[in-house]
């Protein structure tokens, strides 16, 4: 019974669009933060991402996550141009998709 209720709630969240998008923005920003930490770059952006993720979890207002996603996208595109190992096309594509979906 609990599984069915969770599945229904999950389906409703996906169907609503914005909730699913907000969950994606949180997930993509968390992945971006993890990658920045692994690479040891952009410490200020790392702190901004941590703060925005915590803020989002408290108030569910994603505006800060979109701003930091835009900054992270620029950083990862520059790192990809430098051929920095570990910067994947998938991460860049996910960031681009999230920002495009917002508009």
Per-residue pLDDT of the chain (103 residues; tens, 9 = 90+): 444 433 433 333 333 344 456 669 999 999 999 999 999 999 999 999 999 999 999 999 999 999 999 999 999 999 999 988 889 999 999 999 999 988 6
Number of domains in the chain: 1
Listed residue (100, 82, 90) closest to 32, CA to CA: 90
Q: Residues 12-40, buried b or exposed e (16+ Cβ, 10 A)?
A: eeeeeeeeebbeebbebbebbbebbeebe
Q: Provide the pLDDT for residue 22.
A: 65
Residue 3 maps to a domain:
no
31: containing domain: 18-102
Residue 2 maps to a domain:
no
Quick count: other Cβ atoms within 10 Å of Cβ 71?
A: 16
Residue 5 maps to a domain:
no
Pairwise CA distance, residues 90 & 61, whole Å: 25
Q: Provide the pLDDT for residue 67.
A: 97
Residue 4 maps to a domain:
no
């Amino acid at each position: 019974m609990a599984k069915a209720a969770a599945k229904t709630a999950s389906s409703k969240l996906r169907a609503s669009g914005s909730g699913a998008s907000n969950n994606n923005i949180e997930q993509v920003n968390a992945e971006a933060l993890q990658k920045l930490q692994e690479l040891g770059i952009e410490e200020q952006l790392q702190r901004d991402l941590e703060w925005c993720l915590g803020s989002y979890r408290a108030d569910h207002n994603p505006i800060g996550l979109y701003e930091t996603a835009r900054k992270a996208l620029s950083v990862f595109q520059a790192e990809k141009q430098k051929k920095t190992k570990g910067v994947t096309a998938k991460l860049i594509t996910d960031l681009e998709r999230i920002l495009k979906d917002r508009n």
